[in-house]
Amino acid sequence: MEPISDNKLKYILDNDISIQQYFCILLLSVLAELIDDPQLFIDSIMKTIGPNMYVILKAKGLIKDNYSNFGDLIRDINKAMDISDNIDVIYGEDGSLIAFVHLKDNNCKYCPKGIGGADLGSTCCPFIILFEAIGEEVGLRYRASEFKKENNVCKIVYKIVKEKNNTKFRKLFA
C-alpha cells in the first residue's frame, strides 16, 4: 500500500471523505492486496453485504421501497452513499443499462486503488456488484458484463438477467 501523498490527503479533505469512509477504503485496499484475485474477493464481499445495505438504506429513507428502473436505484444509492459527483445511465435497445460514474480528480470517494492506495492491477471497484445485489433485493435482475475506467468516468455495462443464476460468486473481469 502506498503511503498517503499530499495530493490524496488534499483530495480526502476537499471532498469531505469521512474518517469512517476512509477507514473502510483502507481496509478493502489492504485486504485486496493480500488476495490472489482481488476483484473476485471484493465482488464476493459486496454480494454478501448487499442485502444488509439495502435494509439500512431503506430504513433510513435513503432509497425507496420499490423501483421499476435500475438506473433510478443506482442514482439513489449514489446520492445516499456519496459515491461520486454524478452517475448518468442510458438504456440499450436490448434492455442493457450503461452507468457512467463521473469522477472528480479520477477517483470516486471509495476507490481502493485511487483513494486507498492499493497496489493493484485493477480498480477493485466495490460498486459494480453492490448495485447488482441491492437491485436484486428490489426485484431488478441485472449483471455487470463490462467495466472500464477512462477520462474521469467509470463505465459499467449491465445486462438484464432472464433466468436465475445459481452461482453464488462469479469472476467478473479477467
Q: What is the pLDDT of residue 90?
A: 96
Q: In what order do the strands lie in the sheet with 153-160?
A: 86-91, 97-102, 153-160, 142-150
- Looking at per-residue pLDDT, the higher value among 123 and 164 belongs to 123
pLDDT of 123 = 72
Helix (H, G, I), strand (E, B) or coil at 88: strand
Instruction: Answer whether residue 169 shows pLDDT above 80.
Output: no
> How far apart are alpha carbons 134 and 33 in whole angstroms?
26
> With DSSP H G I counted as helix, E B as strand and the rest as coil, what are the percentages for the chain, rounded to 5?
40, 20, 45
pLDDT at 165 over 60: no
Please give the Cα distance from 9 to 7 (Å, whole number). Answer: 5
Query: Would you list the domain boundaries of the chain?
Result: 6-160
Please state, rounded to an integer, the average pLDDT across all residues of the chain: 87
Q: Which CATH architecture best describes the domain 6-160?
A: 2-Layer Sandwich (3.30)
The least confident of 9-18, 102-111, 127-136 is 102-111
| Residue at grid coordinates 438484464 | 160
Query: pTM of this prediction?
Result: 0.85
